[in-house]
Amino acid sequence: MIKLNDIQVIFNQGTQLENHVLKGINLTIEKGEFVTIIGGNGAGKSTLMNILAGDLLPHQGSLFIENKDITTWPTEKRSPLVARIFQDPMLGTFSELTIEENLSLAHQRGKRRGFALSTSGALRQKFREALSVLNMNLENRLLDKVSSLSGGQRQALSLVMATLQECELLLLDEHTAALDPKIANTIMEITNNIVKARKLTTLMITHSMSQALHYGSRTIMLYHGEVVRDMTGDTRKSLSTENLLAFFEV
């Protein structure tokens, strides 16, 4: 379970440019829940992701993951608990390393890392099995440099890397926004399959209203740093993309 209690974030505090970005966010995300997050520019979506990932600490409030108070934990300390995939496919992988070397680094997430990226036969087989679900033939390209992959392939690899180790929370930060529509749909289906199979607690920011309703079981809308809509169950099922777009006209 993820619990956010009165999370507040203020940029440029005490100046003429003061901006109260998050205004007392209270949320409870149940274990295994897949939540989509929508909102206009400046709504606080990315700031919320940064708070959860540890890239930003709140000015007020507390954050718990599985009853652990991680409010002040830096990103590195949270890495065994939280995995994140960004919008830019280039951010989740190392271009000049091979697919195998990238996966080796992901396998060491949250552990003490050495300089060696040696891989045993058993670990290599684990990598192949993880990549095979993508249906992109990457399991047969372990020694290829990641720089040789397309944007969609790199984002698919990022997804495998993020979920290679167990985590308590998967953050998807508009992870299909930089891809063409066909590849974006493929990555979303892969994402959905992995999240369901692994029962991963997941938060996904999206600007696609169809994605927001089609995936997961709960949709949250942020507006000026506050949760203004929290849609689940029959209420969410009855909504159309046009309904969601109308919520922005306030």
User: Using one digit for the tens of pLDDT, what is the confidence trace for 132-156?
Assistant: 999 999 999 999 999 999 999 999 9
Helix 99-107 vs helix 151-163: crossing angle, to nearest 10: 30
Single-letter amino acid code for the residue at 145: K
Rounded mean pLDDT of the chain? 92
pLDDT in tens, 23-60: 999 999 999 999 999 999 989 999 999 999 999 999 99
CA 114, CA 82: separation in Å to the nearest integer?
Answer: 21
Place of tokens 């290599």: 124
Domains of the chain, CATH where assigned: 1-81+172-250 (3.40.50.300), 96-166 (no CATH)
Angstrom distances, CA of residue 45 to CA of 99, 151, 171: 31, 24, 11
Distance, CA of 216 to CA of 195 (rounded, Å) = 9
Strands 60-65 and 68-69: antiparallel
